[in-house]
Structure 1
Amino acid sequence: MTDLKAFFNTLTPVSAKSWSRFSALFTSKKLEKGEYFIKEGQIAKEIGFLERGIMRAFYRNNEAVEYNKHFFVNPCFIGGYASLITGRPNQIFQEALTSCTIQVAKFADIQNLFPTCPDIERGARVLAEQFFVQKEQREIEIVLLDADKRYQIFKDTFPQLEQQIPQYHIASYLGVTPTQLSRIRKKLSGK
């Protein structure tokens, strides 16, 4: 729980009383490589804090082609955020790419703290704002930047990830084929 506390305190300072109530809502869960935190079509009820491991969020089209939307590297929050807020079915999958340790809480229980724990509500708002900024930045990258620049941003955003996950996942995230990614890597390495 120390990682969760340290991470949450980067969002906003939290009183001891609020922290005690907030942290009591979380239980530890393990996901093995290939297991899902949430699938498409489920109604999200829980939010997770990724303590250890790597996960991906992805879409799957009607032809079963997958498109990676985001990578989660600890420490960070995970979950079907749009589904949590709207109550509608989740549209993405979140899959463990390595074995993962997660702290999980019911989102409704966290929301129930908001009236009496304004510091927790403030932290949730800051987190939502960060998600919004990340989403907008990612959309701009996909539309306005070429694949070479997107690859460089990926490397800056997720250092070490290239050595930990398959290249086809990175290619999908960048919106290129694995062959194109190989050419980009070769070109940028100067070989």
Structure 2
Amino acid sequence: MNNVISFFNNILQLSKPTVDLMKGLFVPATLKKGEYFIDKGQYAKEIAFLESGYVRAYYINNEGKEYNKTFFAAPTIIGSYAALINKQPNVVAQQALTDCKIWKASFNKIEELSASNLEVERLRRIIAESYFLSNEKKEIEMALLDAEKRYQILQEEYPEIELKIPQYHIAAYLGISPTQLSRIRKNRTK
């Protein structure tokens, strides 16, 4: 639980009463490699702090091709925020790529706490803004940069990910084929 509180305090220094309230919301859990935090079509009810491991958020197009929308590398928050706030079935599945340790919390309880606690409300806003900026950055990179530059950025943002997950997941994240990724990696080692 200390890692959860440290993560939040790095975003916004929380008072002791708020920390105590937050400690009552989060419970420890694990995700085994391949398990879903939330699958497509499910109704989201929880968010989680990812204490260790990697999770991918992905979707499958009408032809059955997978696209990795984003990777979550510990420490971070996971959960289908769009499905939570829209109260609609989830569209983007979140699957553990490695064994993961998480701390999960009911989103409804966090919303209730936000209504009466300005620190929690502010923390939620800052986290949501951070994810908005991250998503916009990725959209711009996908539209304007070539695959080799996107690969370079991936290596900078997730320095150990290639040691932890299969290459086809990285290719799906970059929007290229595994063969194209292999060529890029080969060219970079020359």
TM-score if structure 1 supplies the norm length? Answer: 0.97
Q: Which residue of 2 aligns with 1:45?
A: 45
Distance in 2, Cα, partners of 1:115 & 1:177? 46
Instruction: Give CA deviations for 1:4-60 in whole Å, capped at 9, x if unaligned.
Output: 111101111101101111120111111111100001111111001101111111001
Q: Which residue of 1 aligns with 2:85?
A: 85
Residue 124 of structure 1: CA displacement?
0.6
Instruction: Give CA deviations for 1:103-146 in whole Å, capped at 9, x if unaligned.
Output: 01110100111132211111110000000000000000000000
Residue 170 of structure 1: CA displacement?
0.3
Q: Which residue of 2 aligns with 1:171?
A: 171
Distance in 1, Cα, partners of 2:122 & 2:165? 34
- 1:9 matched to 2:9? The reply is yes
Q: Alpha carbon RMSD of aligned pairs, Å?
A: 0.8
Q: Which amino acid aligns with 1:35?
A: E
- Which aligned segments of 4 or more residues in structure 1 are displaced greater than 6 angstroms? none
- 1:188 matched to 2:167? The reply is no
Q: Which residue of 2 aligns with 1:62?
A: 62
Instruction: Give CA deviations for 1:139-176 in whole Å, capped at 9, x if unaligned.
Output: 00000000010000000000011111100000000011
Q: Which amino acid aligns with 2:60?
A: R
Percent identity between matched residues is: 50
Q: Which residue of 2 aligns with 1:34?
A: 34
Q: Which runs of 5+ in 2 are unaligned?
A: none
Q: Which amino acid aligns with 1:182?
A: S
Q: Which amino acid aligns with 1:65?
A: K
SS, match of residue 98 in structure 1: coil
Residue 62 of structure 1: CA displacement?
2.7
Q: Which residue of 1 aligns with 2:96?
A: 96
Distance in 1, Cα, partners of 2:160 & 2:51? 17
- 1:121 matched to 2:121? The reply is yes
Which shifted more, 170-179 or 112-121? 112-121
How many residues align? The count is 190
Distance in 2, Cα, partners of 1:108 & 1:175? 35
Distance in 2, Cα, partners of 1:114 & 1:53? 28
Distance in 2, Cα, partners of 1:142 & 1:148? 11
Q: Which residue of 2 aligns with 1:132?
A: 132
Q: Which runs of 5+ in 1 are unaligned?
A: none
Distance in 1, Cα, partners of 2:4 & 2:22? 10
